[in-house]
Structure 1
Amino acid sequence: MSPRTKEQNDEIRERRKLQIIETAELLFIRNGMSLDIRDVAQAAQLGYGTVYHYYNNKHLLIHDIMESGFSAAEETAKQLNAPQSPLSLLHTYLRCLPDSWTKSRAAFAIYKKASENFSMFEPDIQHVYNNRFEEFIYMPVVVLIQKAISLQELSDKLDPHRTANTLLGALIGAYSIYSGHDNQRFDANFTADVLIKGILEV
């Protein structure tokens, strides 16, 4: 049997690292900073030494999860700049957001931990994450609501910040309930329809 090429070894390493990350993402959503390397190894069905080879402490692993999550969440938020009416765009965004969370558990971790004010992190890191979430993920939603109000698509009785918090908070909460049940599919369209109908009736 011929030895593996460098390219084959690199591909195996990348697959294994992805396996570790994807397993850790789920555990991080559930356990936060209580994430343990041994639990990741067990859940990924890998040896502890194998996981330790890639991540010799949980903080490096959590850092990679957060960076991956922010990148995915920020990419999704770019949809809010599409040439579409603000209300229609908001509706589309609320429908698409859960799909982006299904594709990237790390992205969902960002929203989940943002709803908790990133309180599990040290103050300096918490500050950085809060600012990054507000600038690139939260404020685009607020601005979109402001535009919808200015165009009279939404009532001027609505406070943009309070509305954004309510919409995102409700979506995170609803998705959290379903994410723990593999046999139940989250209905993003239904949830988005209910949320939009709610703010239209204000």
Structure 2
Amino acid sequence: MSPRTKEQNEEIRLQRVREIMKAAVDVYLEQGITMEMRDIAAKAGLGYGTVYHYYKNKLMLLEDLLWLAFEEARLLTNKAIAADGDSRQRLRRYTSMLLGHWFYDRSTYILYKMIWENFHQVPGGRFQMLYDRFQTDLHEPLVRVVQEALGGMEPESKANLLLGSMIGCAGLWIHHGHDEPDTDQMAASLLAGVLGKELL
């Protein structure tokens, strides 16, 4: 048997990282920050040593996971908010798309949930840079479109209330194993409740 090529080794490495990250998402949703690397290894069907070969501890793994989720969320936010349509249409599209993405890729849901909890379970300000980038790249665009839709009526507090409501509502489905809901209908209901029926 001939030795593997560099490309084959890289594909194996990427596959292992994907398996570890997928398992980490599942374990985090079950256990929160108390998750342990041995639980992630078991969920991924990998040896304990294999997981440690890629990540020395759960915070390093979580950091990679959250930065990847951030990039996905940034692309989605830009696509939804920068698209054509008036501010109300863009806000509804953003809300529906983000909820849908959370159900599809739960690492993005974890990112928003941990940001909203101000990373209070993570020691030592480890994610300060991620928090700052979240504010500029994900939160501020939402505040701007809320301001366009509402005028000068407390756009930041309304944006915060909307995101908090989305996180709570999505968590009910994610943590209780329900099938994915109609995200467009969920978005309409949340926007009506948080921002007012006149926006629909």
Q: TM-score, normalised by structure 1?
A: 0.87
Counterparts in 2 of 1:113-152, with a 5 A limit? 113-150=114-151
Q: Is the 8 A contact 1:90 1:144 kept in 2?
A: yes
Amino acid at match of 1:75: L
CA distance in 2, matches of 1:135, 1:31: 30
- Residue 200 (1) aligns with residue 196 (2): yes
Alignment of 1:103 onto 2:99: no
- Write out the 4+ residue segments of structure 1 that deviate beyond 4 Å after TM superposition: none
Is 1:28 matched with 2:32?
no
Which residue is 1:41 aligned to? 41
Answer yes or no: is the 8 Å Cα contact 1:73–1:137 preserved in 2: yes
Q: Distance in 1 between the 2:187 and 2:37 partners?
A: 37
Structure 2: tracts of 5 or more residues without a match:
none
Query: SS of the residue aligned with 1:164?
Result: helix
- Answer with 88-97 or 57-66: which moved more: 57-66
1:108 & 1:137 partners in 2: Cα distance?
13
What residue in structure 2 maps to residue 85 of structure 1? Answer: 86
5+ long unaligned stretches in structure 1: 151-155
Alignment of 1:9-28 (within 5 A): 9-28=9-28
State the 1:9 CA deviation: 2.6
Alpha-carbon contact 1:115-1:169 (below 8 Å) kept: yes
Which range moves more in the overlay, 54-63 or 98-107? 98-107
Residue identity opposite 1:60 in structure 2: M
Q: Which residue in the other structure is 1:8 paired with? A: 8
Paired position in structure 2 for 1:163: 158
- The residue number in structure 2 matching 1:184 is 179
Deviation at 1:134, TM superposition (A): 1.5
> Matched residues in 1 for 2:34 and 2:191: separation?
36
Q: Relative to structure 1, is the Cα distance of residues 53 and 83 closer, same or farther in structure 2, using a 3 angstrom cutoff?
A: same
| Counterpart residue type for residue 87 of structure 1 | R
Q: Could you tell me whether the CA contact under 8 Å between 1:95 and 1:188 is conserved in 2?
A: yes
The amino acid across from 1:47 in the alignment is G
Q: Which amino acid in structure 1 is aligned with residue 192 of structure 2?
A: K
| Residue deviations 1:130-188 (CA, integer Å, cap 9, x gap) | 322221111111110111123xxxxx6x4212211121111111111111344522221
CA contact (8 A) 2:29 2:175 kept: no
Contact 1:73 1:110 in 2 (8 A): no
Residue 70 of structure 2 is matched in structure 1 by 70
The one-letter code matched in structure 2 to 1:201 is: K
The TM-score, its normalising length taken from structure 2, stands at 0.88
Identity of aligned residues (%): 34
Q: Matches of 1:9 and 1:131 in 2, distance apart?
A: 35
Matched residue type, 1:195: L
Q: In the superposition, relative to structure 1, how do residues 194 and 12 fare at CA in structure 2: closer, same or farther (>3 Å)?
A: same
Residue 153 of structure 1: aligned partner: none
Query: Structure 1's 128 and 9: CA in aligned 2 closer, same or farther, altered over 3 A?
Result: closer
Equivalent residue for 1:54?
A: 54
Q: For the residues of structure 1 that align with 2:179 and 2:197, how far apart are their CA atoms? A: 29
